[in-house]
């Protein structure tokens, strides 16, 4: 028996189509959010580069994390802004694959970058005398490169398996970017292998990095509680609480998106949840790290005053 079907060659991103009448108001909000995110993270990078006193492993990771955040938010928001002003929210088949790869690459890299930052704080607080030896320049570089390698491998596997499927039905993606779960629902083939990959490989990526973070902070908190000085405990905890806030936002929303049962999906819910880790988290990170860090604020002030005097 012959089955007639049309092969999908492009997709339509529904995004926030459920609130069509308000999309014109969403554009300036997300545009300002994107500009502030890029400028805020660029400020962190520039401050690190121009401040010799910040050339330590902690700020080395923070600068690379800020750079990663700029790349991450740039994978989705520019296209989303374009779609908010367009009636035809189309993305090509290859464009969708590229966007998915980039989002997974930078998202997976963030997982291990956050783990590296937690490991750095663990050594700084629990092994202060050996800190400079353990967290040498080459070790820091290996952590960053390793994070990108793991992120790239994870992205390649999921993207390759997703776009090896046949798409011959609806081409409407219930999302504002090409993410794995909403794209898989459009395939007219059995996707159990892809779903298994999301749970196994994606789960290993997120859980292994999260375990490193949890173990690091259990040791850190134990060490903090042993400090006799109340001011010492407060200062140490303040340094770590910023990182914990970022971890909570990123991992909480990402896990809800990728590991909840398919039967619990609701129309438009993907977009709302994904905003937390693709847009809101990159926006908050520079403020969480800089406004709660006296050294960063002081160096930003010195650079600003130097520019005025110049």
Each residue's pLDDT expressed in tens, for the chain with a length of 310 residues: 445 556 777 899 987 766 666 667 888 999 999 999 999 999 999 999 998 888 999 999 999 999 999 999 999 999 999 988 887 789 999 999 999 999 999 999 999 999 999 999 899 988 989 999 999 999 999 999 999 999 999 999 999 999 999 888 788 888 889 999 889 988 888 889 988 988 888 888 888 998 999 899 888 888 877 766 666 666 666 666 767 777 887 887 777 777 666 545 555 566 777 788 888 888 888 887 776 677 888 888 888 877 776 6
**Hey, where are the domains in the chain?**
10-309
d(Cα 204, Cα 148) in Å, to the nearest integer? Answer: 16
Q: What is the pLDDT of residue 236?
A: 63
d(Cα 170, Cα 11) in Å, to the nearest integer? Answer: 9
Q: What is the pLDDT of residue 235?
A: 63
Measured torsion, CA atoms of residues 51, 56, 61, 63, in degrees rounded to the nearest 10: 0
**Residues paired with residue 90 on neighbouring β-strands, in sequence order:** 12
Tell me which residue of 277, 297, 271 sits closest to 286, measured CA to CA.
297
Q: For residue 230, what are its two tokens?
A: 């109340």
Burial of residue 20, with CB atoms counted within 10 A of its CB: 0-12 exposed, 13-18 middle, 19 or more buried: exposed
CA angle 175, 177, 183 (to 5 degrees): 65
Q: What is the pLDDT of residue 88?
A: 79
The pTM score is 0.88
Q: What is the pLDDT of residue 16?
A: 76
Per CATH, the homologous superfamily of domain 10-309 is Rhodopsin 7-helix transmembrane proteins (1.20.1070.10)
CB 44 within 8 A of CB 301: no
């Amino acid at each position: 028996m012959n089955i007639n079907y049309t092969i999908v060659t492009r997709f339509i991103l529904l995004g926030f189509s459920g609130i069509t009448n308000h999309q014109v108001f969403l554009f300036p909000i997300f545009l300002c959010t994107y500009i502030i995110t890029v400028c805020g993270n660029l400020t962190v990078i520039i401050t690190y580069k121009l401040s010799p006193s910040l050339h330590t492993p902690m700020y080395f990771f923070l600068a690379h994390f800020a750079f990663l955040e700029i790349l991450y938010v740039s994978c989705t928001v520019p296209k989303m802004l374009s779609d908010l002003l367009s009636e035809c929210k189309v993305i090509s088949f290859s464009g969708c694959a590229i966007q998915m790869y980039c989002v997974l690459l930078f998202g997976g890299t963030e997982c291990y970058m956050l783990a590296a930052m937690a490991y750095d704080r663990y050594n700084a607080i629990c092994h202060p005398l050996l800190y400079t030896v353990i967290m040498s320049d080459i070790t820091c570089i290996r952590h960053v490169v390793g994070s990108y390698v793991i992120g790239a491998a994870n992205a390649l596997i999921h993207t390759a398996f997703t776009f090896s499927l046949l798409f011959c039905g609806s081409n409407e993606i219930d999302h504002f970017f090409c993410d794995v779960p909403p794209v898989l629902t459009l395939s007219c083939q059995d996707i159990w292998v892809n779903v298994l990959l999301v749970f196994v490989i994606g789960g290993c990526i997120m859980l292994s990095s999260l375990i490193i973070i949890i173990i690091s902070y259990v040791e850190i908190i134990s060490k903090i509680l042993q400090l006799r000085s109340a001011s010492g405990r407060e200062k140490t905890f303040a340094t770590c609480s910023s990182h914990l806030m970022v971890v909570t936002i990123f991992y909480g929303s990402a896990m809800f998106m990728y590991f909840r049962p398919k039967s619990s999906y609701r129309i438009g819910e993907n977009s709302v949840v994904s905003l937390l880790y693709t847009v809101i988290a990159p926006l908050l990170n520079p403020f969480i790290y800089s406004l709660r860090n006296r050294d960063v604020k002081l160096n930003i002030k010195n650079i600003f005053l130097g520019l005025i005097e110049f």
